[in-house]
A and B are shown apart, each in its own frame.
Chain A
Amino acid sequence: MSVAELKERHIAATATVNSLRERLKQKQQLLVDTDVAAYGRSQGRSAISFVSTDLVCCRTLQGHTGKVYSLDWTPEKNRIVSASQDGRLIVWNALTSQKTHAIKLQCPWVVTCAFAPNGQSVACGGLNSACSIFNLNSQVDRDGNIPVSQILTGHKGYVYSCQYVPDQETRLITSSGDQTCILWDVTTGQRISVFGGEFPSGHTADVLSVSINSSNSNMFVSGSCDTTARLWDTRIASRAVRTYHGHQGEVNTVKLFPDGQRFGTGSNDSTCRLYDMRTGHQLQVYSQQHDGDDNDIPTVTSIAFSISGRLLFAGYSSGACYVWDTLLAEVILNLGELQNSHEGCISCLGLSSDGSALCTGSWDKKLKIWAFGGQRRVI
């Protein structure tokens, strides 16, 4: 068969797949009879009401000399690791706001960091297309820096996010600009599995985010520039379990819902969405009217759910940080309008393991910790 004929067959096949996809989408739309908020209202529920003293900024972590790109909490002790454009990782004691470690990276272009489950190591990744691991107990070198313990190389594009597999110090998942996710064995530095890439059901554009299911760590969700989120089973790397459509823009962030049956996403289309993992349905869209011109709609950069899932925290490029009532799809507070809030794009956020505090990181070079105050109890 000649090259021209092959090309034609390829075009025809692509058209067939696209039309099938459209029909599937339409069928799915027909099956959706309601969304979470409509159902909630029909059950007589009303939104939680928050006043500005219910969630207050009680710590500001200063020290980075560049934009903060990523943060992660330790699973038990209250420490946070943050990564910044200044080429450093800083580990903070969240209670005292003191720095306990600062690591100057060989390649300063870092965009993601993560704490190991035992809190003894941190991982980071960025433009060097690799994920570097540092053991915080290592002897520091002459310049006061911690030497790198392991470098995970193999990606063919920038590493945009990384997460340790919960309860497994030795496994880590990264997502990359090379359109794949990789599961690594940290001790040997070897790739265990590659998700996507050559295989047809992988992402078709840069993968920006991963979230591992803590109820079942064999499953994880990824979000990509191709506007979809995909569910993967680490035991079957050859194809994605399911693909979730709906967003009109790239999916910057994905987060598993606390019960492990659903997950949330945040996108350049300025909305967050809640998906049902099993059926693939889009359960709810969280979207707010924004003022300002159409060219500058704020993007959702990061999200997190509260312990029960009743609250959805979403950080935006405009500096807004909405607290959504997940059930009724209403914004009940905007941290960006409170006293002491950030002065720039919110690039990352995360909830402490006991759910009592939220940390936000921003391009204003600072991190802030917000806690439930007054009569408000943690939900």
Chain B
Amino acid sequence: MISMLYFVVESMGSFCSRQQPLNEVDSDENKQAAKIDSRIAEETKAEQHIHKLLLLGAGESGKSTIFKQIRLLFQTGFDEAELRSYTSVIHANVYQTIKILYDGAKELAENEPNSLKYVVRADNKEIGEKLSEIGSRMDSPCLTKEIAKEIVTLWNDTAIQETYSHGNILQVPDCAQYFMENLERFSEVNYIPTKEDVLHARVRTTGVVEIQFSPVGESRKSGEVYRLYDVGGQRNERRKWIHLFEGVTSVIFCAAISEYDQMLFEDDTKNRMMETKELFEWVLKQSCFEKSSFMLFLNKFDIFEKKVHRVPLNVCEWFKDYQPMGSGKQEVEHAYEFVKKKFEELYFQNSKPDCVDRAFKIYRTTALDQKLVKKTFKLVDETLRRRNLIEAGLL
């Protein structure tokens, strides 16, 4: 079967025998090594006071929007060149959105029992096919006035409107309405995206993005320096790299609570809220976060509060024991408190006894609302500063 070669190398291991006494070692090399050591020490010292924050959450939970908001709030925001760079992204988003709606209408017309209401008007079909083809291309063409008019026509088709209101089983992005309502502005020849447009723009995060910032207090800088990392929400094997983030000051976990009736982009048989639940559980169990604070952002509250009246919470398996209380604002609050409690229970079920000291706070957020994000972040900053003082033994 196999014959193993068993040959012996004559020369002895060059390591054990050659113990060079230090004074014989090349002194240039020594100097270089010493320089390197002191540089490493300096760099390490300079970074010690920086609090590292890690944004985690399923795809489309709002992490990137929070990231953009932090830029707008605490850094110099986006300059004109950067705003312009979003034009093609927004145009592409428009084409993607209308394509999803048109293709979705076709699919629903085929499979749903009440199918007639999803059938697009005969004279809109040609537009629909054309837009669907454009939306599938890697590089979308510029959004012209003519095409914008056609998109508006299609958007106003009752079948498309009907599809949009049943968008949960398709992958209709949450900001579809925003895109459709602003088409005229987007198709202007000299269109430069506004900050608001940029916040709504959707690009899948690849790799890692980071920003360093110092939140400004009411009257003066608080002095704390934060570095925020966004690792994107793709479903690759997080466990192969999550341990790189051991020792971060805090994990900011984003959960889009409006997604309880939607399916994943990567797997349309999986409910998004269940995916978020599993991800949160998994993150809590990671030993690399034993000492990190957990900030849970229950995001997309604005969409949640509208949806709760239309779609009962118990369509999601995790929320199946939900009992609606009443209606109007009271019902929204009741539903929100229910969801919040579910996450709290999950947190305590999955935190080991030695993590009892870990700070855990829940925040109700709407990532697109700058004021709210600012307020939320102030609270986060307070919690972390307090934590810092406790750890230093000063509180």
Residues of A with Cβ closer than 8 Å to B? Answer: 2-4, 34, 36, 39, 56, 58-59, 63, 65, 67, 69, 78, 85-86, 88, 90, 93-96, 98-102, 104, 107, 109, 111, 126-130, 143-144, 156-158, 160, 177-178, 205-206, 208, 225, 250, 259, 283, 307-310, 326-327, 354-357, 369, 371-373, 377-379
Contact = CB atoms under 8 A, between A and B. Distances in A.
Contacts of B18: 95
A290 B32 CA distance: 44
Contacts of A156: 206
B207 A356 contact: no
A309 B4 contact: yes
Interface stretch (B76-84, B169-177, B233-241): B233-241
Main SS class of interface, A: loop
Given A39-B1, A99-B36, A65 B6 contact: no
Nearest to A62: B37
Given A107-B207, A130-B207, A354-B11, A98 B30 contact: yes
B66 to A, nearest CB: 19
A356 B32 contact: no
Contact of B8 (A63, A86, A129, A379): A379
Contacts of A144: 35-36, 39
Contacts of B20: 95-96
Contacts, number: 151
B9 interface: yes
A96 B43 contact: no
B240 A357 contact: no
Nearest to A205: B237
B149 to A, nearest CB: 30
Nearest to A110: B244
Contacts of B40: 63, 65, 88, 102
B231 interface: yes
A129 B207 contact: yes
Given A65-B40, A99-B32, A371-B13, 10 more contacts: A39-B2, A63-B36, A69-B244, A96-B20, A98-B29, A100-B36, A109-B208, A307-B7, A356-B11, A379-B8
Nearest to B33: A98
B2 A309 contact: no
Contacts of A56: 16
| Band of interface residues on B | 35 or more
B392 interface: no
A56 B19 CA distance: 13
Given A373-B16, A377-B9, A2 B4 contact: no
Contacts of A36: 1-2
B14 interface: yes
Interface in B13-32: 13-16, 18-20, 25-26, 29-30, 32
Nearest to B208: A127
Nearest to A347: B243
Nearest to B18: A95
B241 A158 contact: yes
Contacts of B241: 109, 111, 126-127, 158, 177
A157 B107 CA distance: 31
27 contacts: A4-B110, A34-B1, A58-B19, A59-B15, A63-B36, A67-B243, A78-B14, A90-B36, A96-B29, A100-B36, A102-B36, A104-B43, A107-B208, A126-B244, A156-B206, A157-B234, A158-B236, A177-B237, A205-B237, A225-B237, A225-B240, A283-B2, A308-B4, A354-B14, A356-B12, A356-B15, A371-B16
